Amino acid sequence: MSNNIDLKKGLDIPIKGSAKPVVSKTIVPDTVAIVPADFKGFTPRLLVKEGDRVLAGSPVLADKKHPEILITAPVSGTVKEIVRGDKRKLLEVRIGTDSVQEYMDFGCKRPESLSADEVRTALLQSGLWAAIIQRPYGILADPALKPKAIFISAFSTAPLAADTEFVLGDEFAAVQAGVNALTKLTDGGVHVSLKSDNYASTPFHKLENAILHTFSGKHPAGNVGVQISHIAPIQKDETVWTVSLLMTAAIGKLFLKGKYDLRRKVAVCGPMALEPSYAQTVPGVGMKEFQAWYGASADGIRFISGDVLSGRNVGEDGRLGFFDNQVTLVKEGTDTELFGWARPFRFNQFSSTRSYFSWLLPRKKYDMDTNLHGGPRAFVMSDNYYSKVIPMDIYPLYLIKACIAGDIDKMEQFGIYEVLPEDLALCEYVDPSKNYIQDIVQKGIDLMIQEMA
């Protein structure tokens, strides 16, 4: 076991509705959708038209700047509809699925016997290059670059996150093959971070060709950005790549089976889930396919693809994101509270400080909703709120202010290269000023991409 990195800062959100480790339903959707917005830094060029037949792994979209980067179909079927928005912006490519799935045959290969170019070509042709995220900025990786290192987080501390061992414990061989393939793409090694609490019981501590690290502490200890900051912080002009463990397994299945196989166990959870458990399905499935978990009416429910802190509010008509294996159902907080500021005796509400008496009930889970308990107001000029929940060597308050001001020099100085919005999600949660901090940070990152390109 490697030396453990114990993170003292952070916050676990005690929300009700964790998924029981059982697959309640296998969802074979009538329609799935490819959503270009899932892929940051990707400018889509359409390769199909309505009525075209596709197999799982057939090219559907290509990047205009890097034509070799493809997004491929997650299922076999017929292109049913191409959905566009304002100024003909491509929003979705909807595919009607076959009852029996057919896959493109990419050929079985042993990644350890391949060259870097052969691994790169296989990932590009299959569409799995889109699984690799480049930092800084959280965009799709540039195939022409060689990163300083590649990082994988083998656990998640996000609220109600899917259990990694339950989801991927039986796919160890695929994960190992994925790691073997990724090692070809960097000279700095593949760094895999594990949770120290269950290090001995998880099968992933047996991974070979990987540099293992262990972490303990509260959320966001499972965020790969936090792990990178403690293993090898990103400096200016440096590039690292990250791959989720879920996508590492998909990469491994590409080489072991020759298939583009994105099937996954998805945790359907949250306070509004009737029986929180898992579904077996594919990305791009519609939220309406999860009706068994929320009943006849979707009124008053927020549908989140991902977790409650950094997931996307997609609505009842939305889709499961390409990178997500969690659907969180939360009540829309539309209720108002008279003189709420004068009622400290709230045993049914959680506070990250000692504003309420929830600190007396450390094990209690709360039926949380989306209510902000107030609106945006003047920025609180104190870093104490943010620094207590961010275990990184940055100044979050000053970074946020620099993003608001659009000051590139200050953003560089205060750590914009090290973070993505998800890394500061807890700042947004504890912020007494009710600012949308993740949006602020994303706008800062967008400005950096625009000015530094």
> pLDDT (tens digit, 9 = 90+) per residue, 177-229?
999 999 999 999 999 999 999 998 999 999 999 999 999 999 999 999 999 99
Note whether 225 and 155 are same-domain residues: yes
CA gap 9, 14 in Å, rounded: 16
**Shortest CA distance to 206 belongs to which of 216, 194, 215, 219?**
194
Domain boundary among 291, 311, 342: 342
**Has residue 41 been placed in a domain?**
no
Helical axes 396-405 vs 437-452, angle rounded to 10° = 60
* Three-state SS at 193: strand
217 torsion bin: left (phi>0), alpha (psi -120 to 50), beta (else):
left
Q: How far apart are CA 208 and CA 200, in angstroms?
A: 15
Q: What is the DSSP letter of 77?
A: E
Amino acid (1-letter code) at residue 199: Y
Between CA 386 and CA 435 the distance in angstroms is: 12
Task: Among 199, 230, 257, identify where a domain stops.
Answer: 257
Give the Cα separation of 303 and 270 in Å (integer).
10
Residues 302 and 171 in one domain: no
Domain presence at residue 146: yes
pLDDT value at residue 258: 97
Q: How many helices (H) and strands (E) does the chain have?
A: 10, 20
Structural domain total, the chain: 3
pLDDT score for 20:
98
Is 147 found in the same domain as 11? yes
176 lies in the same domain as 244:
yes
**Tens digit of each residue's pLDDT (9 = 90 or more) over 159-169:** 999 999 999 99
Whether 169 maps to a domain, the answer reads yes
**Quick one: 278 and 211 in the same domain?**
no
Q: Tell whether 292 and 253 lie within a shared domain.
A: no
User: Both 237 and 273 in a single domain?
Assistant: no
* Residue 294 belongs to domain with CATH number: 3.10.20.600
| Helices 172-182 + 245-257 axis angle, to 10 | 90
Run of H or E residues at 151: strand 150-153
Q: Is residue 66 a part of any domain in this protein?
A: no
Model pLDDT, residue 375: 74
Where b means 16+ CB within 10 Å and e means fewer, 172-210 reads bebbbbbbbbbbbbbebbbbbbbbbeebeebbbbebebb
- Low-confidence stretches of the chain (pLDDT < 50) are none
Burial 228-265 (b: 16+ CB within 10 A, else e): bbbbbebeeeebbbbbbbbbbbbbbbbbbbbbbbbbbb
- Domain check: are 332 and 243 in the same one? no
The tens digit of pLDDT for each residue in 228-241 reads 999 999 998 999 99
Separation in Å, CA 249 to CA 28, 191, 192, 204, 256 = 21, 15, 13, 12, 10
In a domain, 32, yes or no: no
Structural domain including 233 reads 4-15+134-257
394 and 325 within one domain: no
Residues 187 and 285 in one domain: no
Q: At what angle do helices 116-126 and 245-257 cross, to 10 degrees?
A: 100
Whether residue 308 sits in one domain with residue 409 = no
Of 342, 376, 410, the residue that ends a domain is: 342
